[in-house]
C-alpha cells in the first residue's frame, strides 16, 4: 500500500493542538474508545469521558416537544449496529469497550410483549472478529466481521441453539483500522458492505475506501461508491429507493476541518472525493490528482467536523408526527479530534422530494456544559411500534425515543 501520511501544514496544526491539550490535561490522554483510532503515541484531543449512571442523566437529554427518552435495555457491552425483526427481536453487533478491548459478541434482545422495554438478553456469538454489522433478510441473520460476512438461517427459531454459520464471503481486507463494517440489504436484494480506508489519510488500494454490494450468496462483488473514507451508516430513501450514506472526514486537520458528510448515491460509480476532497468542494492539497473536479460527487449535506456520523435511518414508522415521515435520523458518535468537543447527539435531516434540505439537532445532552460526555450514540433503528431505538456503546445500552401527543 502506498501510505503517504503527509505531514502537511494542516497536520502541523493538529500536532500543535495535541501539544496544548497535553499541557492542559494529561489525564485525558489515551482515551479508550473513540470512533477514530489516533496513533498510540498521541493523546486524544478533547476526549473527556464522564462515567455516570445513565439512568440518572436521562433528564439531561433535550428533545422536541412531545418526545421522551427511556432506557430500552442495558447490560449490552459495546453495543453498536442494530437490526430488528417485525416481532421485535433486536440484534446488536459490537466493537470495543471502554478499555479498548475487542468484545467480539453479537446479542439478541427479545421483547415478546411489545411493552417498549427489552426483556431477555441472549449472547448469540462470542470471540468474533469485531462483529459490528448485523442485517436481516427473510428470517436469516447476517453478521459482518472485519474480514468476512456469515449467515445464520431462521434465526428467531434458533436463538437457543444457533445453526451452523454459512460463510457468505471471507475475502475482505483483514486490517482493523476502519475495518469494522455496517451491513444492510438494499431494495435491489443485494447486500451492501463498506470497505473503509485502512488509515487516517492515505491513497488506499483499489477496492478500499468504497461501499460494495454482493449477491445474497456472496458472489458478484460490485463497487457502488468510491472515494469513501469510512462509512458506518447507510439507508435507502423509501420514496425513491436511492442510497444515502454517512462518511467520516479525516483527522488532524484543525478544529473545524473537514466537514462530516451525508452523501447521496442513486446509481453506482460515483467517486465521493477521499482522499482528495471533502464535503461539497473542499480540496485537500496533501494529495495531488489528475481527476477533473466534475469527476467528484460532493456531499449532499455538510455537518460539523469530527462529529463522527454513524448509523442512519429514514423514518418509516407510524408513531412520530407526519412531518417526520421520510426524514433521516443520524447518530453522531462524538469527537475526540477537537479542543472543544462536539457531537454526541442525534441529528434530523429534513427531506423534500428526494433531496436533503437541511439538518437540525433532534436529541442533545450527552455532552455536558463542561465539555465532558456521558454517552455516545452509535446506531438508530425503528421499532415495530414506530419508536426510535438508539444504541450507545459507551454505556452498553439501547435507548427508546417515543412520541406522546399532548
Confidence of residue 44 (pLDDT cuts 50, 70, 90): low
Q: Does residue 12 register a pLDDT over 70?
A: no
Confidence of residue 84 (pLDDT cuts 50, 70, 90): very high
Nearest to 194 by CA among 236, 240, 146: 146
Side-by-side strand order, sheet with 106-109: 79-84, 90-94, 106-109, 121-125
Residue 311 phi/psi, 5° resolution?
Answer: -65, 150
Q: Does residue 37 register a pLDDT over 70?
A: no
- Using CA atoms, how far residue 251 sits from 18, 55, 258, 284, 389, in Å, is 12, 33, 8, 12, 29
Contacts of 359 (CB under 8 A, 6+ apart): 262, 301, 303, 330, 347, 348, 349, 350
Q: Give the global pTM.
A: 0.90
What would you report as the CA-atom Rg of the chain, rounded to the nearest whole angstrom? 20
* Mean pLDDT of all residues in 91-104: 95
Q: What pLDDT, in 10s, does the model give residues 374-405?
A: 999 999 999 999 999 999 999 999 999 999 98
- Identify the pLDDT of residue 54: 98
The CATH classification number of 9-403 equals 2.120.10.30
Find out whether 253 and 265 touch, Cβ atoms under 8 Å: no
Lowest mean pLDDT across 18-22, 81-85, 305-309: 18-22
70: left (phi over 0), alpha (psi -120 to 50) or beta: beta
Find out whether 336 and 44 touch, Cβ atoms under 8 Å: yes
* Cell output for 25: 490535561
Nearest to 2 by CA among 172, 209, 180: 209
* Mean pLDDT of all residues in 26-44: 39
Domain map (residue ranges) of the chain: 9-403
Q: Judging by beta carbons within 10 Å of its beta carbon (0-12, 13-18, 19+), is residue 294 exposed, middle or buried?
A: exposed
Gap between the Cα atoms of 257 and 279, Å rounded:
10
Q: Does residue 308 register a pLDDT over 50?
A: yes
Find out whether 276 and 301 touch, Cβ atoms under 8 Å: no
Q: What pLDDT, in 10s, does the model give residues 219-275?
A: 999 999 999 999 999 999 999 999 999 999 999 899 999 999 999 999 999 999 999
The most confident of 31-35, 194-198, 249-253, by mean pLDDT = 194-198
Gap between the Cα atoms of 371 and 48, Å rounded:
7
Amino acid at each position: 500500500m502506498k501510505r503517504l501520511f503527509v505531514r502537511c501544514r494542516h497536520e502541523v496544526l493538529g500536532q500543535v493542538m495535541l501539544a496544548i491539550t497535553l499541557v492542559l490535561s494529561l489525564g485525558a490522554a489515551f482515551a479508550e474508545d473513540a470512533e477514530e483510532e489516533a496513533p498510540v503515541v498521541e493523546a486524544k484531543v478533547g476526549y473527556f469521558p464522564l462515567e455516570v449512571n445513565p439512568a440518572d442523566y436521562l433528564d439531561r437529554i433535550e428533545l422536541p416537544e412531545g418526545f421522551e427518552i427511556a432506557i430500552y435495555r442495558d447490560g449490552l457491552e459495546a453495543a453498536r449496529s442494530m437490526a430488528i425483526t417485525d416481532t421485535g427481536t433486536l440484534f446488536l453487533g459490537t466493537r470495543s469497550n471502554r478499555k479498548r478491548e475487542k468484545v467480539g459478541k453479537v446479542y439478541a434482545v427479545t421483547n415478546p410483549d411489545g411493552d417498549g422495554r427489552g426483556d431477555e438478553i441472549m449472547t448469540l456469538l462470542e470471540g468474533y472478529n469485531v462483529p459490528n454489522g448485523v442485517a436481516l433478510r427473510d428470517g436469516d441473520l447476517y453478521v459482518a466481521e472485519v474480514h468476512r460476512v456469515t449467515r445464520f438461517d431462521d434465526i428467531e427459531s434458533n436463538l437457543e441453539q444457533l445453526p451452523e454459520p454459512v460463510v457468505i464471503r471471507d475475502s475482505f481486507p483483514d486490517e482493523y483500522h476502519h475495518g469494522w463494517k455496517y451491513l444492510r440489504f438494499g431494495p435491489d436484494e443485494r447486500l451492501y458492505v463498506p470497505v473503509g480506508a485502512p488509515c487516517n489519510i492515505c491513497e488506499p488500494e483499489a477496492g478500499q475506501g468504497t461501499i460494495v454490494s454482493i449477491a445474497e450468496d456472496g458472489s458478484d462483488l460490485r463497487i457502488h461508491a468510491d472515494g469513501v473514507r469510512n462509512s458506518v451508516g447507510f439507508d435507502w430513501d423509501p420514496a425513491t429507493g436511492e442510497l444515502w450514506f454517512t462518511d467520516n472526514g479525516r483527522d488532524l486537520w484543525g478544529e473545524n476541518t473537514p466537514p462530516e458528510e451525508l452523501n447521496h448515491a442513486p446509481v453506482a460509480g460515483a467517486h465521493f472525493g477521499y482522499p482528495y476532497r471533502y464535503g461539497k468542494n473542499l480540496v485537500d492539497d496533501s494529495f495531488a490528482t489528475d481527476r477533473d473536479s466534475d469527476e467528484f460527487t460532493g456531499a449532499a449535506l455538510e455537518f460539523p467536523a469530527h462529529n463522527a456520523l454513524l448509523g442512519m435511518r429514514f423514518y418509516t414508522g407510524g408513531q412520530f408526527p407526519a412531518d417526520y415521515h421520510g426524514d433521516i435520523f443520524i447518530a453522531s458518535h462524538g469527537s475526540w479530534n477537537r479542543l472543544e468537543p462536539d457531537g454526541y447527539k442525534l441529528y434530523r435531516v429534513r427531506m423534500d422530494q428526494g433531496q436533503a434540505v437541511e439538518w437540525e439537532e433532534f436529541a442533545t445532552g450527552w455532552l455536558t456544559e463542561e465539555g465532558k460526555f456521558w454517552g455516545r450514540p452509535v446506531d438508530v433503528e425503528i421499532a415495530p411500534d414506530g419508536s426510535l431505538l438508539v444504541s450507545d456503546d459507551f454505556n452498553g445500552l439501547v435507548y427508546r425515543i417515543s412520541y406522546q401527543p399532548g
